[in-house]
Amino acid sequence: MKVFIVGAGAMGCLYAGAFHRAGCAVTLVDVNREHLEAISANGLELETRAGTEHLPLAAVHPAEVSGTADLILLFTKTFQTDAALAGVKTIIGPETRVLTLQNGLGNDERVARHVARENVLTGVSTLPSDLVGPGRVRSHGEGGTKLYPAFSTDEGFARTVAERLTAGGLPSGLDPAIGSAIWSKAIFNAAMNPLCALTRRTPGFLGANPESRAMIRQAVAEGAATAEASGVAVDAQAILDLTEVSMSDHANHEPSMLQDLNAGRRTEVDAINGAIVEAAEQAGVATPLLQTLWQLVRLEEAKLA
């Protein structure tokens, strides 16, 4: 299987390692030249609880891609999706599948602007990963992957992808109720990511303070009410349980919004909190905390400008 990872940040590199271990031909695609050069020169340094590996992976700029992909795994920011897929259109053939494990809501429809709807896979990851330097990624924590065809019930290729990821060390499975899983992950992120970003602290800090715990409970309740009103069944207690895992097992992990603000980059808050708030407005649900967190992160982004 020829796998192109478009968006070779912390998560993209973690999944590249799994596909490589499973015997796939893996190419990392990114615009960060320093990162690409480090991987090309020394291999990807991937540190997990099992130890540190140096994986020989191809790493190229979008202008340098060639061949035809069997699978494109999309790990760019949500607001970069159109530009990213347009930038690698030469490797997209009629049978190329695109799997989005991006944060937030609406990613399947964005991808479907670039490939046939039956070739779109969508899913969620609950794995932590941090980019610690050019060519160096660390993932300390447990988790897994759920995926499924976005617009069909033909499970064949999706099952193969899940099997390869599992064989490569990242437990993965199919979930026909993937819409519920995506909403649940978005609600989790809408509660945890902004609070880490705004306090400039990791989940362990949130777990140690009653104020943040109270806001996490309220944010999850608002998100779950929005999902239910939008016709999507979610388990609020299961989402709260996942926040507990984050605050303990992933206590020192830097969530993506925190990484972005620390690096002076735009966050994905519009596709996470913003998307939930907009769905809530359509469904007539009040989400005062989620809206406040959205606006506060937007103000942090405005400071970067």
With H, G, I as helix, E, B as strand and everything else as coil, classify residue 231: coil
241 Cβ neighbours under 8 A, 6+ residues apart? none
To 5 degrees, how large is the angle CA 153–CA 182–CA 1? 55
Q: Report the greatest alpha carbon distance in the chain.
A: 54
Cα–Cα distance, 46 to 48 (Å, whole number): 7
Please say whether the beta carbons of 28 and 43 come within 8 A. Answer: no
Nearest CA to 21 among 169, 171, 172? 169
Task: Kindly name the residue from 77, 89, 146, 185 that is annotated as catalytic.
Answer: 185
Rg (CA), the chain: 18
Nearest CA to 149 among 179, 110, 114? 179
Cα–Cα distance, 139 to 47 (Å, whole number): 6
Q: Which residues pair with 46 in a beta bridge?
A: 53, 137
- Based on the residue annotation, tell me whether 185 is a catalytic residue of this protein: yes
With H, G, I as helix, E, B as strand and everything else as coil, classify residue 138: strand
Query: What are the helix (H) ranges across the chain?
Result: 10-21, 33-42, 81-87, 107-111, 156-167, 178-199, 203-207, 210-229, 236-248, 256-262, 275-283, 288-304
Nearest CA to 123 among 187, 188, 177, 194? 177
Please say whether the beta carbons of 247 and 206 come within 8 A. Answer: yes
Q: Which residues are catalytic?
A: 185
